[in-house]
Each structure stands twice: as C-alpha cells, then as structure tokens.
A and B are shown apart, each in its own frame.
Chain A
Amino acid sequence: MSNGAFPKIADPTLEPELIRRCYQSMITSRVLESKLSSLYKAGKIVGGVYLGTGQEAISGSLGVLLKRGRDIFSPLIRDQAGRIAFEEDLLDATRTYLGSAQGPMRGRDGNVHRGRPLEGMPAMISHLGVGLSLVTGMLLARRLKGALTGVVGGTSVGDGATSTGSFHEGLNMAAVEKLPLVVVVADNQFAYSTPRERQFACKSLLERAAGYGVSGFEVDGTDFIACLQTVKQAVDSARAGGGPQLVVARLLRLCGHGEHDDASYVPPELRDSNLGRDCLEVARAQLLDMGMVTESEISAWQDEATERVQEAVAIAQKERGPDPYQEDWRATSTSGMQS
C-alpha cells in the first residue's frame, strides 16, 4: 500500500457537503459489505455475496452526482457505494440478500439483482452490458415526454462487460440519439479471473470513446478526489447536452469475484502497486488533509454505519421469506396470459 502523491487542492466546483456525503456512503458501503460477507460465511446468505471493495470511490462518485427522483442510476455488481450515495435504503440490500418477502425483489431475485425501476434505479440482470441500452431507453422516454432537461442517466460496468455486443450496441445507440448517458467502466484488471489482456487489445478502454463519438475520461480509480472531479465533469457535460460520456477508472478489485472466490489469481505485485491502493484510505487521507473532516467525525460515521447496518440486517433477518404456497407464480401483470 503506497500513499503516493494525490492532489491536495480542493476543487472549487465540488461542494464540501457532496464530498463528505460521498465519503460517508463509501464507509457505510464497506461496513455493510463486510457484514454481508460475514452472514454468507455463517451460512445465512445463500447463492453468493458480491462486493465492491476497492471500487467505492468511483461507484460512490457516480451515485452521489446523480440525484434520486430526477436522474437515473443503473448500478451493476460492485456498486454498493453508488447505491448508498444514490440513497438506496440499506434495507433494500439486506432484505434482498436475506430473501425477505418484504424487500423490493420479494425473494424472487437476490443479492445485487435489485432495484426500484419506477424510482430511476433499474434492477440489473446477470447478462453484462444490457444496462446501457436500458438506460438509453429510459432517457429516450424522458425526451419523448419532454422531461429530459437536466436529467442524466448513469450506469456502471467492468472491463469484462466492454467485450459484449450489448455494450457496443448500447453505447452506439445512445451516441446516435445523443442522450445524456454516463457510462463508468471500472477497469478493475480482472473479469472474474480473466486478466484484462485477455479481454481487450487496446491500450486503454478510453480509446473506445472516440470510436463511438462520445466524450472520454480516464481516472485513477483509487484517487477519491480525482474520481469525484472526473465523474462530475462527465455528468455535468451530459447534463449540459454533451451526449454520452465514457469514464474509465483504473483500479484493482480488492476482493474476489464473489465471497466464494479468494482471488488467488491476482499477482501480489499488482496488489502492492498503486492500483492496489484502498480508495477508502486514500479518501480518508485526502479529506483529513483538506480539513474537510476530522478524525472524530470519521469515527462517528463509522459507528453510525455499523449501527445502521446492524439494524437493517436485524430487521431483514427477522422477516419471513416468501411462501411458495402464497406465491401467485405469475410472470405477467395481466391475468390469463400464461395458460
């Protein structure tokens, strides 16, 4: 872990409150994910637990810069920080992971496959890259309804998803329609266990932007302030009518693909490189340095997060799962469409 140089100048366009809120979301995310991992290892969560350790800065930046109720945020697998920053209720997470019938997915889907589509947060499916066209469609609808002004749609993918046809079709389509789509690519070096050199041949995924005719940004994903600055630039540009934006964040996933995976395929020298820095620690140092938070504030945020997480887990854990005998087993909203 290196505490290399990072910008110490506070960006005048970044409101301190936004920075603080983002950092707090990152802390809460880390605490929640650590608890989810523990519940998995105690046999309480089935299926899998997928963490965003090391990706909180870039995810949180996108989430915090989008406004719930106005913007659209289509998170992917490692976006717990972004979800919290976008004001997703912690209960949505714990209920979905623990299979509570009262969660937004009611036990019909689990873990990271959750959302509230009517509140601008679609529920991801496992197939990668499909979120780009989905958000494009949501933005197109806003435009057709005359309600696009000031709206941005953000979505995240990893480097692996950029290899799919869906990613290409979606980004190209958004570019053709010049819609305010912000795509954040967390280039986290591995798609499950496959290293990026087996995923794509260009030097940086940033090069792709020009091909699609969209604006491109590249950022050190471990550098909290840089992430916020870059994503803000992209979001502002989209909001101002600049069309789709591609943000590539270089970082390292600091956990396995899921909690069943010990990531033994990651070489130690990569962990020790700048890419392996923990963005949370970088953020902490940056904020303390800028005098934006105090040690005791951080400690209080940490305690608050622990308490909120514990409460969300306790509530969800005490709730019943779905009852197969009460389930309506209907896949369409209209009755009589299944026979």
Chain B
Amino acid sequence: MSLTYIDAIHQAQAELLRDDDSVFLYGQDIGAFGGAFKATKGLKEIYPERVLDAPISEDAMIGLSVGAAIEGMKPIIEMQFADFSSVAFNQLVNQAGTHYYRTGVPVPITVRMPCGGTPGSGPFHSQMIESLYGHYPGLVVVTPATVSDAYHLLKQSVNLPDPVIFCEHKFLYRWLKSEKIEETNLPLSKARIVRSGKHATVVTYSAMVHEAVRAAEKLEKEGWEIEVVDLRSIKPLDTDCVISSVARTGRLLALGESFPWGGVTAEVVSRVVAEGFHLLDAPPMRLNAKDTPIPYHPDLWAAHRPTPESIIQKLRELLSL
C-alpha cells in the first residue's frame, strides 16, 4: 500500500483532530465536500463541529483564526489556493505576524497553502508564495518536499505556538508516493541533504527538490556528483546546512519555483556569499521561474518553471567555471 503527499496531509489532519480538541479546520468547501483537493475528505463526518466551511472571505478567515488562537485554539486554515492568500495578506502580515511581538501572546495558526504549478492551472492557481511571507517578521514558512515531511511538518506546524504558512505543492499531491511515512522526525528548522555529491550543491525546496534530483541523476552519468539540499522550511532557513554543503562542493545553485526578483534563492545566495565567500569555486547561481505571470498552456507552463533540462543547463554552466 502506498501513500501520496495529499494522503499524508489528510492523515496528519485526521490525527491532529483526533488527538487534540483545540484543533479545528476552517476553509472553503472543506466540509462535506472534503476540500478542493480532498485534503479533508470524510473529516466533517467524524468531527462535524471542528471541520467548518468558510465563506469566500480569505481576509476574515485569517482574522477568525487569529481570534480563535488567542482563545487557545489551534486552527488549521485551508486557503483553497495559495494565490488567494493575497486577499488575506493584511491579516496574515499585520494581524497574525505582529501579534506575538506586540502583545506577547502567540497565535498558533497554521495556514495550509496549496501552491505551485500544475499544467493548465494558469496565472491564479499556480503561484508560489513562500518568498512573500518569508519577508515578513513573525511568520514561519514551511515547504515540505516529501510525503513524510508533509505529514511530520504539518503536525509540527500545528503544534508550534506561532503562525505557520504551510506551503504544500499541488503538483506533489498525487504525483508523489511513498511506501510509508518515515519515522524519523527531523525538527522543522533543519534542512536535509537529499543526495550527496562533491561537484556542486543545489539548494532548493518543495517540488523543485524532485526536479533537482532528476537533473542530478542525469549528470551523474557524465561523472558529475551533485549534492541536493532540501530546505524543508524557508523561514527559518538552515544556513548552516547550506554553508556546510557548499564547503564540500565549492559551487552553489539556488533553485526555486517562485518568481525571480528577490526571494528565497536570492536570500540563499546572499547568505552563502556573505558567510562563505571563501568556500566558492565559482560565482553562485540562481534559477527561478520566469518573470511573467504563470502561463496557462502546458507547453508554456513547462518552460516557465525550472525543469530538469533547464537545471542541467544551469549546472553545466556552473560546473564549467
């Protein structure tokens, strides 16, 4: 029996609801319908009072979650698509993000953000939002790449007393399968070396971890050994793990699916250059999606985001220097 990434999210939520009365789920179409991606399927029947359909009011959904968190609850908000969190931006960065610093009262909300592209989803159902929220103080931003991480990091996020932006990648929902959920439970703040190598380091997160691994596998046939670091959470960002990997390889490619101006990949490069310039054998590089809205047509979409081919091309350039 195998488990998908969305199964892991479903299972984590089911267990959280079962084990903790203070957990409740709130989001659009998540009740009897089971959610746009079926992440809450069947949960309303078991916990009718704690799995609630929300009106199409992203702003108020986050306001409500902060209020409930003040009162001791641990709300999990499902943003139907991460793209729509722009409507809730104010409540996220100004209400949730500032609350602990201003009042000393932490607000343990977890906002599930189905993000990232799938073919045909177009400009408003494909965006990555981690760089945006990582910029603001007071928010933790988690970006799981594996089935086990989707499960463990969601549980850790809900139990963290601070607001968490939980970025779950839609492409991985059913594409990614695992035999079982691994028992190892790496803390939320730690990155992981997915694949070891000695010629270059790719630092990435979420779905791009798998694209990077595929690129690395192809380059292996030519004798290049590429190390892949999965950040797991982009805030906090495990700089130590990144720097120690670059110390082994001397070369860095920061890879992300979000837009190219600023963001996580720029942050990774900036930290490596500032703290590990002496470790570099070549100028560090970044690879992101293109600087346009995300296109609808599958062919355009596939060329908009980094692919194993474009990653290989970038790595070849990096290795040639």
Write out the residue numbers on chain A whose beta carbons fall within 8 Å of the beta carbon of B69.
137, 141
A 128-151 contacts with B by CB, 8 A: 130-142, 144-145
Chain A residues lying within 8 Å of B62, measured Cβ to Cβ, are 133
Residues of B within 8 A of A169 (CB): 55, 57-60, 63
Task: Find chain A residues with CB under 8 A from B104 CB.
Answer: 104, 106
How would residues 109 to 141 of chain A score, 1 for a CB under 8 Å from any chain B CB and 0 otherwise?
100010111100011011100111111111111
Cα distance A115–B57 in the bound complex, in angstroms:
26
Contact with A136, one of B64, B160, B161, B235 (Cβ below 8 angstroms): B64
A108 touches B101 (CB 8 A): yes
Cβ B138 vs Cβ A173 within 8 A: no
**List of B residues within 8 angstroms of A173 by Cβ:** 54-55, 57, 60-61, 64
B138 in contact with A331 (CB, 8 Å) = yes
Shortest C-beta distance, A121 to chain B (Å), equals 10
The answer to whether B160 and A141 have CB atoms under 8 Å apart is: no
Query: How many residue pairs, one in A and one in B, have C-beta atoms under 8 Å apart?
Result: 157
Asked whether A105 is an interface residue with its Cβ less than 8 Å from the other chain, the reply is yes
Q: A118-B70, A333-B100 are in contact. Are A133 and B60 (CB under 8 A)?
A: yes
Question: When the two chains form the complex, which single residue of B22, B24, B57, B67 contacts A135, counting CB atoms closer than 8 Å?
Answer: B67
For the complex, is A299 an interface residue (Cβ under 8 Å from B)? no
Question: Is A296's CB within 8 Å of the partner chain B?
Answer: no
Asked whether B114 is an interface residue with its Cβ less than 8 Å from the other chain, the reply is: no
Q: How far is the CB of B283 from chain A (nearest CB, A)?
A: 24
Instruction: Give, as a whole number of angstroms, the nearest-CB distance from B134 to chain A.
Output: 11
Q: In residues 3-53 of chain A, which contact B (Cβ within 8 Å)?
A: none
User: A residues within 8 A CB of B160?
Assistant: 334, 337
With A130-B59, A339-B237: A332-B100 Cβ-Cβ less than 8 Å: yes
Chain A residues lying within 8 Å of B98, measured Cβ to Cβ, are: 125, 331
Q: Which chain A residue lies CB-closest to B91?
A: A130
A130 touches B161 (CB 8 A): no
CB-based contact B236/A339 at 8 Å = yes
User: Is the Cβ of A134 less than 8 Å from the Cβ of B59?
Assistant: no
Complex-state Cα separation, A134 to B96, whole angstroms: 10
Closest Cβ of chain A to B156, distance in Å, is 10
In the assembled complex, the Cα of A45 lies from the Cα of B69 at a distance in Å of: 33
| Set of chain A residues within 8 Å of B49, measured between Cβ atoms | 144
Evaluate whether A332 and B140 lie within 8 angstroms (CB atoms) in the complex, with A108-B101, A136-B64 already known.
yes
Partner among A118, A170, A337 whose Cβ is within 8 Å of the Cβ of B63: A170
Give the number of residues in B that approach A within 8 Å (Cβ atoms): 51
Query: Which residues from chain A contact B91 at a C-beta distance below 8 Å?
Result: 130, 133, 166
| Chain B neighbourhood of A115, CB < 8 A | 103
Q: Is B196 an interface residue (CB 8 A)?
A: no
Interface residues of B in 69-124 (CB under 8 A from A): 69-73, 75, 87, 90-91, 94-95, 97-106
Q: Are B105 and A118 in contact (CB under 8 A)?
A: yes
- Taking CB atoms, residues of chain A closer than 8 Å to B106 are 332-334
Residue of A nearest to B189 (CB): A336
CB distance from B218 to the nearest CB of A (A): 34
Least CB distance from B272 to A in Å reads 14
Give the docked Cα–Cα distance between A130 and B63 (Å): 6
CB pair A134–B63 under 8 Å, yes or no, is yes
Q: Would you call B90 and A137 a contact (CB within 8 A)? A: no
CB of A286 closer than 8 Å to a CB of B:
no
- Whether A127 and B102, one on each chain, are in contact in the complex, defined by CB atoms closer than 8 angstroms, is no
- Alpha-carbon separation in the docked complex, A114 to B105 (Å): 12
Which of chain A's residues have a CB closer than 8 A to the CB of B29? none
* Chain B proximity mask over A190-232: 1 for CB below 8 Å, otherwise 0: 0000000000000000000000000000000000000000000
B24 contacts which of A133, A139, A144 (Cβ < 8 Å)?
A144
Do residues A117 and B103 form an inter-chain contact, with CB atoms below 8 A?
yes
Distance between A123 CB and nearest chain B CB, rounded to angstroms: 5
For B59, B98, B162, which residue has the most chain A Cβ atoms within 10 angstroms? B59
Contacts of B72 in A (CB 8 A): 141, 145
Give every chain B residue within 8 A of A331 (Cβ-Cβ).
97-98, 100-101, 137-138
Contact A141 B102 (CB under 8 A): no
Contact with B along A165-203 (1 / 0, CB 8 A): 110011011001000000000000000000000000000
Contacts A125-B95, A141-B73, A144-B24; A337 near B68 (Cβ below 8 A): no
Q: Which B residues are in CB contact (< 8 Å) with A142?
A: 71
Interface flag for B239 (CB, 8 Å): yes
Which of A105, A144, A165, A332 is the one whose CB lies under 8 Å from B138?
A332
Residues of B within 8 A of A332 (CB): 100, 106, 138, 140, 162
26 pairs across A/B with beta carbons < 8 Å? Answer: A106-B104, A109-B102, A116-B103, A117-B70, A122-B67, A123-B103, A127-B90, A133-B60, A134-B70, A135-B67, A136-B67, A139-B67, A144-B21, A166-B60, A166-B91, A169-B58, A173-B60, A176-B55, A331-B100, A332-B106, A332-B140, A334-B162, A337-B140, A337-B160, A337-B235, A338-B236
Interface residues of B (CB under 8 A from A): 21-22, 24, 49-50, 54-55, 57-73, 75, 87, 90-91, 94-95, 97-106, 137-138, 140, 160-162, 189, 235-237, 239
